[in-house]
């Protein structure tokens, strides 16, 4: 895919566990010819973690893109009237950021950039990164999926085998009560690992590496 002469706004929110993958995808986009403009949330700018410091990560991203990035609301707002982005990506997009976006809250540079960009009727691509996508975040994700010009990178459960249900003798598992399923498992006399029915799968989600194919809208 050739992304030459395409301006891509790349919003990065605070899912620091995915920063290494994010950095690789930014590198890949630049190698495909795109002009990538990083947009950093406040959490990304200030959160030092076991994976490294915020300063180091931001410097690496800026070195890859050759762009100092957008770091304030004031810098993000002109994206609307100037309309210089062909597409904007939020990757990773935390559950917190998705909730705010779904409810029109624009209190970070990434969210302000997304709002400004969507005023121009251009695509916004979201790569969700949350461990409650089928829980508290599910409503917000559904709202965003039903919003014009918003596209989601395909996502899936990160490790379904590790997330299997551990049934207990009293018919509960991992602190949650699944009613008849738990009672049936207990009645069978087992306390081992049981693969859960689809409707009870609750697990972390991850960004599929080839997410950039979602840029069909920029081709």
Q: What is the domain partition of the chain in residue ranges?
A: 7-159+202-218, 165-200
- Distance, in Å, from the CA atom of 158 to the CA atom of 206, rounded to the nearest integer, reads 6
pLDDT in tens, 178-200: 344 344 444 444 444 334 333 33
- 18 torsion bin: left (phi>0), alpha (psi -120 to 50), beta (else): alpha
204-219 mean pLDDT? 36
CA end-to-end span of the chain: 8
CATH 3.40.50.10860 fits 7-159+202-218, yes or no: no
Tokens 């982005």 appear where? 85
The predicted model scores a pTM of: 0.73
- Which pLDDT value is given to residue 159? 61
Rounded to the nearest 10 degrees, what angle do helices 138-145 and 95-102 cross at? Answer: 50
Tell me phi and psi for residue 87, to 5 degrees. -155, 150
How many CB atoms sit inside 10 A of residue 53's CB?
A: 12
pLDDT over 70 (residue 142): yes
């Amino acid at each position: 895919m050739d992304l030459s002469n395409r301006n891509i706004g790349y919003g990065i929110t605070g899912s620091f566990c995915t920063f290494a993958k994010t950095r690789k995808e930014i590198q890949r986009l630049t190698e495909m010819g795109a002009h990538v403009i990083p947009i950093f949330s406040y959490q990304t700018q200030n959160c030092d973690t076991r994976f490294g410091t915020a300063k180091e990560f931001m410097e690496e991203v800026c070195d890859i893109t050759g762009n100092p990035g957008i770091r304030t609301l004031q810098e993000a707002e002109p994206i609307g009237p100037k309309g210089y982005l062909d597409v904007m990506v939020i990757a990773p997009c935390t559950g917190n950021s998705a909730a705010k976006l779904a409810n029109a809250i624009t209190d970070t540079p990434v969210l302000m950039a997304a709002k400004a960009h969507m005023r121009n009727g251009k695509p916004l691509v979201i790569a969700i990164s949350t461990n409650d996508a089928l829980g508290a975040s599910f409503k917000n994700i559904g709202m965003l999926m039903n919003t014009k010009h918003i596209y989601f990178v395909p996502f899936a459960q990160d490790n379904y085998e590790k997330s299997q249900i551990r049934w207990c003798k009293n018919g509960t598992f991992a602190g949650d009560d699944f009613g008849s399923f738990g009672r049936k498992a207990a009645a069978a006399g087992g306390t081992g690992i049981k693969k859960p029915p689809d409707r009870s799968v609750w697990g972390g989600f991850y960004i599929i590496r080839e997410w950039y194919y979602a840029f069909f809208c920029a081709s």
